[in-house]
Amino acid sequence: MFRYLLLIFFTFSSQALGFAGFDECSFFRTEINSERTKKDFDDVAQKKYNYHGLIFETGFQDGIRPYIDRIHPDVFDSDDSKQAYEKSFEIRLKDIITINGIDTLNMSDEEFDAEIDKNEILLSFAGVEDKYLFKRKDFYSRELIITPDIKKINNIDTKSSTFDIVFEVDISWNDYRFSEIAYRVAKKGGEIDKETGLSDGGFFCYIPFKFFQELGYIFPDLKIQDFTNTLEREKPEYVLIDYFPPPCGNFDCIEEEEKYGIVQFSFIEKFQGSVFQKFSLKKFPFDSHEITLDLFFNYFYFFDEPYRSNISEQTQLSNYSNFSSPEWEFVDYFSGYGSIYLPNVNARVPTLSMIFEIDRQYSYFLFKIMFPIICLLGVCWATFWMTPRELESRVTISIVCLLSLIAYNFIIDQDIPKLAYLTFLDQFILISYLFAGLPTIQTVASHRILERHGLERALNFDRSSRILIPFAYFFSMLTLVLLTDVSRW
């Protein structure tokens, strides 16, 4: 909220002053322009990290084997046996059985860390035949700190397999190429402001997005999996520049940042549109789903690697608390890292996934479709109490009930797509069709017994049907419920 207020305040002046009597933002822009021929601002400021290209998740205290959560796209090379992205997909999230020949089940965090600190690690995975050898080397990436802020999720449509969403994404990253420039600005401002003592050396500015575009600066290009914009995507008007003077403290800084401080870029992009989401409707209308927003960045000659910010979970909790829907109940939320295959570069890249668990509100289907169907069957079965001589009346009642069930099927088709499998409700209705048609067959059989064996035999047949047919129906329904496992408890 603080950033939004500042942005409004400085709408007509693309700067924010941190030093009294000194316009550091204009000076910062002037210094950048003077350095544009010396520094490659039209390239990406990636940092070098020396490791195996793997990020691990461990849970030794809970008796859980470690696994690989993230894999740098440059870890694997394609060969005759497998493509690089296939190798990445094969081992990610799989339990690591051994590391350098040591069983991981009884390891401690310290023992595991000691192994991954080695130059080479040999890993075997659950369900994977091959062992994989990883060597420590230099990997390059631009780390992005992401804070998604989901304003609204609505129109969750299982028939079109989509949901509508409105959200913003705050993207932040450090760029060491501007550190020395910002240091000079802060030093200049500090010299002017010595008498007041108001400055701690840090400052921030809102600088027009176009200014950096004219430099050829390459901004992170956010992508959303299976997302269709309903509004034209616009770049932000301003970029927030935060300067933090040295020392770096606990931050992971390179030499330039240790000496001159940290320059952090950030901007907010707004999105509104729909996301294609595959739904499994086998338990419909007692179905539960996970709706997912997958954020990722293109991978070219540089690698933008997304990480959750420190406030992203709190933001997601706030979003979750405000969601509501007449058809769905939001029951849980979580976020994590995934991966996506990019065919244009033949590589898998990490994704940041925001996931919400939802349950369908089934009361409508229970009381307006299923319960009336059971009532219709009761009407059908009422023919068992009619005299066997009333053949025409009994047949008429049973056929009318069957036609009513067919009408209900058209109502349900409006809510779900044409599927290659039967949902719980489909099976419920098909069984109901069968037991709505049985009274017609039973009526004909009862009338036949009446003609051949007399009234008493026909009445005994009807009495047996009053018990056996309803019992068979409800036993079939119980079996269906147990096999489909529609319980949410």
CA-nearest of 422, 477, 94, 474 to 282 is 422
How high is the pLDDT of residue 9? Answer: 35
Angle between helices 371-381 and 424-453 (to 10 degrees): 10
Model confidence pLDDT, tens digit, residues 270-322: 999 999 999 999 999 999 999 999 999 988 878 899 999 888 888 888 888 88
**Alpha carbons 73 and 298: distance in angstroms, whole number:** 11
Model confidence pLDDT, tens digit, residues 414-461: 666 778 888 998 899 889 989 988 888 888 888 888 888 888 898 899
**Alpha carbons 373 and 366: distance in angstroms, whole number:** 10
How high is the pLDDT of residue 7? Answer: 38
Q: If you write DSSP's letter for every residue of 126-186 in order, what string do you get?
A: TT--S-EEEE-EEEEEEEEEEEEEEEEEEEEETTTTEEEEEEEEEEEEE-GGGHHHHHHHH
The percent helix, strand, coil of the chain (3-state, each to 5) is 40, 30, 30
The pLDDT > 90 percentage for the chain reads 43
- DSSP one-letter code for 219: -
Domain 2-46+140-360 has CATH 2.70.170.10: yes
**Alpha carbons 249 and 153: distance in angstroms, whole number:** 40
pTM: 0.81
Residue 437, SS3 per DSSP? helix
What is the length of the chain? Answer: 489
Q: How many CB atoms lie under 10 A from the CB of residue 187?
A: 13
363-484 CATH, one of 1.20.58.390, 2.60.40.10, 1.20.140.10, 3.30.750.210: 1.20.58.390
How high is the pLDDT of residue 339? Answer: 87
Q: Are 215 and 41 in contact (CB under 8 A)?
A: yes
Q: And the tokens for 154?
A: 């609505």
For residues 29-57, b (16+ Cβ closer than 10 Å) or e, as one string?
Answer: bebbeebeeeeebeebbbbeeeebbbebe
Q: And the tokens for 212?
A: 């950096």
- The DSSP element (H or E) to which 331 belongs, if any, is strand 328-342
Q: Are 279 and 357 in contact (CB under 8 A)?
A: no
- CA atoms within 13 A of residue 418's CA, in its CB half-sphere: 0
Tell me the Ramachandran region of residue 155: left when phi exceeds 0, alpha when psi lies from -120 to 50, beta otherwise.
Answer: left
């693309």: which residue's tokens? 14
Domain made up of 53-135: CATH architecture: Roll (2.30)
Cβ neighbors of 92 (< 8 A, separation 6 or more) are: 67, 68, 69, 71, 339
Q: Are 205 and 24 in contact (CB under 8 A)?
A: yes
Q: In what order do the strands lie in the sheet with 102-103?
A: 102-103, 96-99, 120-125, 132-135
Tell me the Ramachandran region of residue 201: left when phi exceeds 0, alpha when psi lies from -120 to 50, beta otherwise.
Answer: left
**Alpha carbons 23 and 359: distance in angstroms, whole number:** 55
- CA atoms within 13 A of residue 133's CA, in its CB half-sphere: 3
């998740």: which residue's tokens? 57
CA-nearest of 465, 22, 16, 41 to 212 is 41
Return per-residue pLDDT of the chain as tens, 489 residues.
334 333 333 333 344 445 656 788 999 999 999 988 888 888 898 888 999 999 999 887 777 899 999 899 899 886 767 888 889 999 999 999 999 999 998 888 899 999 999 999 999 999 999 999 999 999 999 999 999 999 999 999 988 899 999 999 999 999 999 999 999 998 887 754 455 444 467 889 999 999 999 999 999 999 999 999 988 888 899 999 999 888 877 677 888 898 889 999 999 999 999 999 999 999 999 999 999 999 999 888 788 999 998 888 888 888 888 888 889 999 998 888 888 888 888 888 889 999 999 999 999 888 888 898 898 889 889 888 888 888 888 888 888 888 888 777 777 676 667 788 889 988 998 899 899 888 888 888 888 888 888 888 988 998 999 999 999 999 999 999 998 887 765
**Alpha carbons 283 and 285: distance in angstroms, whole number:** 6
Cβ neighbors of 434 (< 8 A, separation 6 or more) are: none
Question: Domain segments of the chain: what residues?
Answer: 2-46+140-360, 53-135, 363-484
**Alpha carbons 54 and 69: distance in angstroms, whole number:** 8
How high is the pLDDT of residue 23? Answer: 85
Question: 78-84: long-range contacts at Cβ-Cβ below 8 A with a sequence spacing of 24 or more?
Answer: 78/346, 83/346, 84/346, 84/347, 84/348
Residue 88, SS3 per DSSP? helix
